[in-house]
């Protein structure tokens, strides 16, 4: 595996592969590689002969400076894990490469309606920073496809919207959330949980699954289900920011939807957990649509 730090070498490497007709896949990450990332690598490998993994803890998508400062950075362990999984190149640019004129002088991508609710409501500027850095990475690597996890369901929707609106020639692949044995979605932030909080954490996904069953009828009372689960999680020791149903495109749910998703963000001690659960809407006799 090649370890690349500058844009010129990255571009030359990728151009060399492209010249021989090889397909290229990008997996953008912020590092601290875990099994969830490695499954994205496997999915990328299934799509392309060459896999590039970028590792960049992007300052512009953090809404809290302390979260940026303490975000786990483990480049050598990441390199070992990615190399063992057959990654061709690990790209670890610094801030000067990604934001050559500084964070204030940079041009930003401003995603609109898909980004203004849910995470966008609680993390101002997050999707602007995320969309900007992902667009830069897509420009640098110019991959045939890029792979993202569905855990960050809204992030995936925002990335798809940006790619569509900016006419970027890349296929976006979404991969189902990778979970621990007890259902907790894998995330680098899980390591902030104390042992007691870690034991409680799977309740978030259990609540999403239960809400998914309860919310699967076309006319289900979704606001009441949301309120019930948010309250139950708060009573259990979480601090819920949102627990909401949307349709698969993240618009407010309607009886005619074929598919819905229930999404949540909740603090547990010092860890902010996010998760989501997409599900089909049951089509009973006499149900419209």
Which range of residues in 127-135, 197-205, 241-249, 253-261 is near ligand PAF by CB under 6 A? Answer: 127-135
Asked whether position 60 contacts ligand PAF by CB under 6 A, the answer is no
Asked whether position 133 contacts ligand PAF by CB under 6 A, the answer is yes
d(CA 40, CA 283): 33
* Nearest CB to ligand PAF, comparing residues 126 and 203: 126
Asked whether position 29 contacts ligand PAF by CB under 6 A, the answer is yes
Asked whether position 130 contacts ligand PAF by CB under 6 A, the answer is yes
d(CA 186, CA 163): 26
Asked whether position 61 contacts ligand PAF by CB under 6 A, the answer is yes
**From residue 194, how far is each of 79, 181, 238, 266 by CA, in Å?**
27, 18, 13, 15
In the bound complex, what is the minimum distance in angstroms from residue 19's beta carbon to ligand PAF?
Answer: 27
Tokens of 14: 């990728």
Choosing from 30, 158, 193, 263, the residue that interacts with ligand PAF (CB under 6 A) is 30
* Nearest CB to ligand PAF, comparing residues 58 and 177: 58
What residues from 151 to 170 belong to the interface with ligand PAF (CB under 6 A)?
152, 155
Q: Based on the residue annotation, tell me whether 37 is a catalytic residue of this protein.
A: yes
In the bound complex, what is the minimum distance in angstroms from residue 132's beta carbon to ligand PAF?
Answer: 9
Asked whether position 132 contacts ligand PAF by CB under 6 A, the answer is no
* Nearest CB to ligand PAF, comparing residues 159 and 211: 159
Q: Which residue is nearest to ligand PAF (CB)?
A: 28
Q: Which residues contact 245 (CB under 8 A, 6 or more apart)?
A: 211, 215, 222, 225, 226, 253, 260, 261, 262
d(CA 195, CA 62): 26
Pairing of strands 89-91, 239-247: unpaired
d(CA 26, CA 99): 20
Asked whether position 201 contacts ligand PAF by CB under 6 A, the answer is no
145 three-class SS: strand
In the bound complex, what is the minimum distance in angstroms from residue 102's beta carbon to ligand PAF?
Answer: 18
d(CA 214, CA 210): 6
Q: Which residues contact 137 (CB under 8 A, 6 or more apart)?
A: 26, 28, 54, 56, 146
Among 262, 259, 264, smallest CA distance to 277 is for 262
Would you give the end-to-end CA distance of the chain in angstroms?
51
Asked whether position 141 contacts ligand PAF by CB under 6 A, the answer is no
What residues from 9 to 28 belong to the interface with ligand PAF (CB under 6 A)?
28
Of 34, 37, 101, 126, the catalytic one is: 37
**Binding site residues, ligand PAF, CB under 6 A:** 28-30, 58, 61, 130, 133-134, 152, 155
Catalytic residues: 37
């Amino acid at each position: 595996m090649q370890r690349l730090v500058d844009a010129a070498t990255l571009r030359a490497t990728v151009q060399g592969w492209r010249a021989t007709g090889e397909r290229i896949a990008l997996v953008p990450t912020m590092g601290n590689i875990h099994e969830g990332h490695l499954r994205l690598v496997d999915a990328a490998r299934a799509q392309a002969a060459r896999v590039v993994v970028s590792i960049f803890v992007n300052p512009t998508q953090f809404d809290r400076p302390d979260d940026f400062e303490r975000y786990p950075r483990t480049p050598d362990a990441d390199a070992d894990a990615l190399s063992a999984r057959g990654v061709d190149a690990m790209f670890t640019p610094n801030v000067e490469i990604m934001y050559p004129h500084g964070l204030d002088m940079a041009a930003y991508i401003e995603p609109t309606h898909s980004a203004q609710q849910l995470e966008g409501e609680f993390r101002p500027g997050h999707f602007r920073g995320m969309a900007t850095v992902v667009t830069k990475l897509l420009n640098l690597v110019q991959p045939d496809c890029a792979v993202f996890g569905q855990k960050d369901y809204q992030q995936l929707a925002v990335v798809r919207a940006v790619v569509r609106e900016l006419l970027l020639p890349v296929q976006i692949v979404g991969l189902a959330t990778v979970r621990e044995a007890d259902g907790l979605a894998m995330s680098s932030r899980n390591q902030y949980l104390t042992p007691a909080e870690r034991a409680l954490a799977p309740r978030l996904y259990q609540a999403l699954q239960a809400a998914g069953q309860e919310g699967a009828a076309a006319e289900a009372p979704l606001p009441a289900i949301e309120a019930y689960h948010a309250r139950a999680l708060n009573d259990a020791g979480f601090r819920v920011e949102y627990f909401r149903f949307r349709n698969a495109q993240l618009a407010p749910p309607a009886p005619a939807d074929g598919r819905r998703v229930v999404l949540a963000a909740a603090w547990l001690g010092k860890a902010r957990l996010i998760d989501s659960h997409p599900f089909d809407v049951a089509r009973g006799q006499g149900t419209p649509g």
